[in-house]
Chains A and B, each alone.
Chain A
């Protein structure tokens, strides 16, 4: 069974510092991996989708890397701002048949960026 882990569970940084968020998964047979942001009491907002054939994906200040062989993905957020404070979730999509419809989520990393 695929397990997805995000460590640390919480992170606090001063404004301007770069954020590094980690995601690890146990089954390397993934089709893709998606990073989400969730604000308190809100739904999930998709940030980046990285395919298994890709090593990284970028959008603005966000960069996600993927190393399938080691079962790891990292989300980098450059020059953090207080508005980046939120919970960040990663989710993997397995590549096996109907299981490809099912995202397995990590527990999330709660980020606080202090002004």
Chain B
């Protein structure tokens, strides 16, 4: 099992550009999550999907959109990137809420 995979690993964008971060899990998990990690701010939840077909906002959803494409895949889209979105983005999944969460390796995004 690959667990939780994320693409790309690194990305540099210019302000105003758009991009989609991809996440996939092969553990048959129902719930998936997107976090960002910033120095001094810790990990913060952006969006989550409790089950296929549902998505909900987390703590810092502004500037982002998500799509739960199917049970395996959960993407995060930046429509118009801003320097404040420079961060490390992590995808995570678990079988259901309250269960142990498993994390992907992260995507390092720099917005110039």
Interface residues of A (CB under 8 A from B): 31-32, 34, 36, 42-46, 49, 89, 91, 93, 98, 100-103, 105-108
Instruction: Say whether, besides A34-B101, A49-B100, A100-B98, A105 and B50 are in contact (CB < 8 Å).
Output: no
Known: A89-B42, A93-B97, A102-B59. 17 other contacts (CB 8 A): A31-B98, A42-B106, A43-B105, A44-B43, A44-B90, A44-B92, A44-B103, A46-B102, A46-B103, A49-B99, A100-B97, A101-B56, A101-B97, A103-B33, A103-B43, A105-B43, A107-B40
Q: Is B61 among interface residues, defined by CB-CB distance under 8 A?
A: no
Q: Which of A42, A89, A101 contacts B43 (CB 8 A)?
A: A89
Residue of A nearest to B99 (CB): A49
Q: Which residues of B contact A93 (CB under 8 A)?
A: 97-98
